[in-house]
Structure 1
Amino acid sequence: MTAEENRPAHRDPYALALRTGGGPVYLRLTDGRWTWLPVHRWYAQPTRADETLLERCVGPVLDVGCGPGRLCRALLHQSIFAVGIDVAPRAVARTIALGGTALCRSVFAPLPGEGAWQTLLLADGNIGIGGDPRALLRRCTQLIAPTGVLLVEVEQIDVAERCTAWVEDTHGHRGPPFPWARLGASALRRIAPELGLGVTDEWRSDHRSFLALSPQCTARGRPS
């Protein structure tokens, strides 16, 4: 999950959490709901659920909203070429400091290798980037190769929601608001064909849910 760092790091809970690798910090929605952000997991070694993503990656890999880069760094350690992108400068700096490769760039900005990435990762709720999953997925189809795949983490519940959110700490300090979205597996299955995408795989691991989507494919995978 990413949020743009357009406030000083000492005032922005998200930037501070990235600096310390801790928290706790929360994703707060305008209606008062909140979700705990597992910053400590983003700095830890990949979990078994993460490994199920990594096992499906074929290089080159683009990790969208890479945070501190645990996934792209793990792929590099497996000799799979991977690059992370994130709009948070501190996230990109941490990825590079920890041995990864990353660019401080929005997924909607011009990127290297457009149309040639074999795998694109949208993990950790990053299907919500920009607050419009259709626009995000449409952009992702421009980035991957015709033979490529999108690996997307979705919500555990059946939800399709566009909202405004911000990162908040336990003292009530808030970062800047940004557009966000939440999408479950059923909703992703519904919109995928509109974008020329087909679901080729669906699985769950450690209370997390994932789908694989490929261009020009109508096959529908089954949960494993």
Structure 2
Amino acid sequence: MSSSVPPWAAADSYTAALHAGRGPLFLRRADGWLLPLEVERWCARADAVDLDVLDRCEGTVLDVGCGPGRLAAELAARGRTALGIDVNEAAVEHTIRLGGQALRRSVFEPLPGEGRWGTVLLMDGNIGIGGDPTALLERAVGLLRPRGLLLAETAPVDVDERVDVHITDARTDAGSPFPWARLGTPALLRYAYGWERAGHWTAGGRRFVALRSRSASSSAEPPKRTALLNSQRARKPSGDSPVPNR
């Protein structure tokens, strides 16, 4: 995968929407189909569904495609070690203004704490980043510590789609097309070869999957049990957890 910044990273309509805190904003396929982007929710504080996901995080947290930073900021407010990454400068700046840590970086570029993150978040459909779910899952394995946790938000319908899309405000397209994927829960689980299934759930009309990476010593063995996710309170970071550097 290329580590260059995607062509939509400086898209005027996307940046304008983040600054305004509202849409309309869409992903547009070549056939004209539009997928609404929930800019208002992304720019608001973490809601009850988000908070439930954050309660399940373990150790240090890497928020991939953090957008305007509601999750990274909430984790920072809880005293958790967390880092958001996004390829859009306005998104990174917004995250920092909210009190979170963030870097302008692609997930496929070198990142702080590789192989030591306790949890990787792929929220808001970010399992679609790069248009290649297998490559993104492989990258997540390299970012997580052994038996680390991946929490991913999937599409609310059963879909398995890889397409080129534009970001658009429904008037003009921004930049060049870029690859994207949409996966429902069954599709993600099909791609998650080598991961332990740690649960899946629906909340507030949104769907989520938890996967646990296997340790090197147990990678060839069947999982002995399903991980129990704590949905009541966040776990404290371990003492040897990496502290991200800007």
Question: Normalised by the size of structure 2, how large is the TM-score?
Answer: 0.83
Select the structure of larger CA radius of gyration.
2
Q: Is it true that 1:71 corresponds to 2:75 in the alignment?
A: no
Going from structure 1 to structure 2, the CA distance change for 1:152 and 1:33 (only over 3 Å counts) comes to same
1:131-152 CA-partner distances (Å, limit 9, x unpaired): 0000001001000010210000
Call closer, same or farther: CA 1:207–1:113 in 2, change over 3 Å: same
What residue number does 2:85 align with? 85
* Contact persistence 2:8–2:178 (CA under 8 A): no
Matched residue, 1:116: 116
- Letter of the 1:120 counterpart: V
Per-residue Cα deviation, 1:190-217 (whole angstroms, up to 9, x for no partner):
1112xx1121111110000000001127
Q: More displaced, 209-218 or 47-56? A: 209-218
Q: Is the 8 Å Cα contact of residues 6 and 176 (structure 1) preserved in structure 2?
A: no
After alignment, is 97-106 or 169-178 more displaced? 169-178
Q: Which residues of structure 1 form unaligned runs of 5+? A: none
Q: Can you list the C-alpha shifts for 1:103-141, whole angstroms capped at 9, x where unaligned?
A: 000000000100000000000000000000000010010
Question: What is aligned with 2:165?
Answer: 165
Shift of 1:59: 2.5
Matched-pair contact (CA < 8 Å) for 2:128–2:180: yes
Matched, 1:131 2:103: no
**Residue of structure 2 in register with 1:186 after alignment:** 186
Letter in 2 for 1:19: H
CA RMSD of aligned residues (A): 2.0
Which residue in the other structure is 1:103 paired with?
A: 103
CA deviation after TM superposition for structure 1 residue 173, in Å: 4.1
Select between 28-37 and 169-178 the one with higher mean Cα deviation. Answer: 169-178
Question: Are the aligned partners of 1:48 and 1:205 in contact in 2 as well (CA < 8 Å)?
Answer: no
Amino acid at match of 1:21: G
The reply to whether residue 32 of structure 1 matches residue 32 of structure 2 is yes
Q: Percent identical across equivalent pairs?
A: 49
| Residues 1:153 and 2:123 aligned together | no
- Partners of 1:177 and 1:166 lie apart in 2 by 5
Q: Larger deviation: 141-150 or 165-174?
A: 165-174
1:176 aligns to what SS in structure 2?
strand
| Deviation (angstroms), 1:221 | 7.8
In the alignment, is the contact (CA less than 8 A) between 1:5 and 1:89 conserved in 2? no
Q: CA deviation at 1:172?
A: 3.0
With over 3 angstroms needed to count, the CA separation of the structure-2 counterparts of 1:160 and 1:173, relative to structure 1, is closer
Find the residue that maps to 2:174 and give its secondary structure.
Answer: coil
1:16 paired residue number: 16
1:9-52 Cα offsets, whole Å, 9 max, x none, are 6xx21111112111111111112211111111111121121112
- CA–CA distance in 2 between the matches of 1:77 and 1:6? 27
Q: Specify the alignment match of 1:41 in structure 2.
A: 41
Contact 1:27 1:36 (C-alpha < 8 Å) held by counterparts: yes
Contact 2:7 2:177 in 1 (8 A): no
Which residue identity is paired with 2:126?
N
User: Is the aligned partner of 1:201 residue 2:199?
Assistant: yes
What CA distance in whole angstroms lies between the structure 2 residues aligned with 1:79 and 1:185?
Answer: 31
> Deviation of residue 60 (structure 1)?
0.6
- Mapped partners of 1:130, 1:5: distance in 2: 12
* Displacement of 1:91: 0.5
Cα deviation, 1:169-197, whole Å, max 9, x if unaligned, reads 1323434321100011111111112xx11
Structure 2 gap segments, 5+ residues each: 215-221, 232-246
Distance 1:83 1:77 in 2: 13
Greater displacement, 45-54 / 131-140: 45-54
User: How many residues in Structure 1 have an aligned counterpart in Structure 2?
Assistant: 217
2-side partners of 1:54 and 1:3: how far apart?
28
